[in-house]
Amino acid sequence: MLFVALLFISVDADQNLGKTTCPLCNMDVKADIKATILGDQYIYACEMAGHIDSLQNDPAANLGPPKKADITTDEIYKSATNIKCPVCGKGFDQLTHAVPWISKGSQKIYACSEEHAQLVFDNPTKFVAAQLSTDDFCDAGAAAEPTGSTMFNGFQLAIGGDASCLLLLFQPWVISSAVKYAFAFLGVVLLAMSLEGFGEFRECMKSRLYRDYGLVSSQTDYLPLSTPQVGSVSNNGNLDPFAHKVGRVPDTLPLSIVRRLPSWCKLVLAIMYMVHLTLGYFVMLVIMTFETLMFVAVILGIGLGFVMFKDTDADEISGSIDPCCST
């Protein structure tokens, strides 16, 4: 009966608890006295008061330096094929180094490389007793840093324990909680509003620069001094409607006014154009994530921006509905 119970515990833990002892006192561990480690790993302790608390609250004092280790021959971990590197999430077959728990027993934290094992050793509180998503808002992976998807396979929500978290634009911006999601939604709405608002601001600034700093010059259409005189008589006595009278200048010359901007004004407009285009591409990248509510946030923001910034009383409304971020 004892053997069956021990076998059940070992299978349940995917770690041979029959050969696992407490790192502090070398006593047998209990399956329900443990602290989680990223990568589906655990540290087990005995029943003595304070031992599990010491291991999970002050792991730096209970870990030895990293070393190379062969997990396939480790009596405790060779059957724990579900464990992963706590730093990057690589699987069992790629675990080559370990950070041992000291000073007793043979428990370890396995990693895929010496570099990642050193990261665990240098900052163990980041990996021991850590939890990436406290409310199971989404699946943030098993690595130390939460991971997410930049593009889903068709429109879907990045919400729910089985759904991948959303990685929004930048690597650290993994939306792994409800609070982060709420701020992301609001941020996308403001981003889309700024796209509309900045477009109006750019047009206004362009008009002001032309008005205040435009260099005015005139351009006269070319006219020869010989101008046609209707009804002249040619040498053969016939009426020539295109006969020319030399030396006559027309009363008025066609004149056009040209305003040219100095170089620094062109530079200002070029920078504003690049900023506007950047905002447009950010909006496009948000849509390309195929996250349903982020798409709704973009449409909502553009609509609010139109209402707030567009002059709807103008004879002609500027802007474009080109889906590829036309500015």
Which pLDDT band holds residue 130 (cuts at 50, 70, 90)? low
pLDDT at 235: 56
pLDDT at 125: 86
pLDDT of 303 strictly over 90: yes
Residue 269 burial (C-beta neighbours within 10 Å; 0-12, 13-18, 19+): middle
pLDDT of 241 strictly over 70: no
Distance CA 235, CA 217 (A): 44
Q: Where are the domains of the chain?
A: 34-129, 134-218+257-311
Angle in degrees, 0-180, between the axes of helices 263-287 and 178-213, rounded to the nearest 10:
160
Q: Is 217 left (phi over 0), alpha (psi -120 to 50) or beta?
A: beta
Q: Whose CA is closest to 297, among 175, 204, 138, 203? A: 175
Lowest mean pLDDT segment, chosen from 38-52, 237-251, 297-311: 237-251
Residue found under tokens 């792994």: 176
Question: What backbone torsions phi and psi does residue 193 show, to the nearest 5 degrees?
Answer: -65, -40
According to DSSP, residue 27 is labeled: P
Tokens at residue 20, please? 């696992």
pLDDT higher for 201 or 131?
201
Q: Does residue 243 sit in helix, strand or coil?
A: coil
Please name every residue paired with 149 in a beta bridge, in sequence order, or none if there are none.
166
pLDDT (mean) for 301-325: 70
Is the separation of the CB atoms in 165 and 140 below 8 Å? yes
pLDDT at 243: 47
Tokens at residue 142, please? 């098993």
pLDDT at 212: 83
pLDDT higher for 48 or 128?
128
Distance CA 265, CA 267 (A): 5
Q: Convert the pLDDT of each residue in 191-225 to its tens digit.
A: 999 999 999 999 899 888 888 887 766 655 444 54
pLDDT of 233 strictly over 70: no
The vertex-168 CA angle with 165 and 172, nearest 5°, equals 85
Question: What backbone torsions phi and psi does residue 90 show, to the nearest 5 degrees?
Answer: -65, 150
pLDDT of 13 strictly over 50: no
Please name every residue paired with 75 in a beta bridge, in sequence order, or none if there are none.
none
Q: ω into residue 103 within 30 of 0, thus cis?
A: yes
Lowest mean pLDDT segment, chosen from 22-36, 97-111, 238-252, 287-301: 238-252
pLDDT at 320: 56
Distance CA 327, CA 324 (A): 9
Q: Convert the pLDDT of each residue in 113-129 to its tens digit.
A: 999 999 999 999 888 87
Please name every residue paired with 63 in a beta bridge, in sequence order, or none if there are none.
101
Tokens at residue 165, please? 């978290």
Distance CA 153, CA 282 (A): 20
Q: Convert the pLDDT of each residue in 53-65 to its tens digit.
A: 788 888 889 999 9
Q: Convert the pLDDT of each residue in 164-178 to its tens digit.
A: 888 999 988 989 888
pLDDT higher for 47 or 288?
288
Q: Which residues have C-beta within 8 Å of that of residue 121, sequence separation ≥ 6?
A: 63, 65, 66, 99
Q: Convert the pLDDT of each residue in 89-113 to its tens digit.
A: 899 999 999 999 988 888 999 999 9
Distance CA 110, CA 168 (A): 30
pLDDT at 180: 92
Task: Please report, for residues 43, 194, 217, 219, 300, the alpha-carbon distance to residue 129 in angstroms, rounded to integers and kept in the order given.
Answer: 9, 41, 74, 77, 40
Amino acid identity, position 163: A
Task: Please report, for residues 8, 62, 150, 289, 292, the alpha-carbon distance to residue 153 in angstroms, rounded to integers and kept in the order given.
Answer: 39, 44, 10, 9, 11
The size of the chain, in residues, is 327
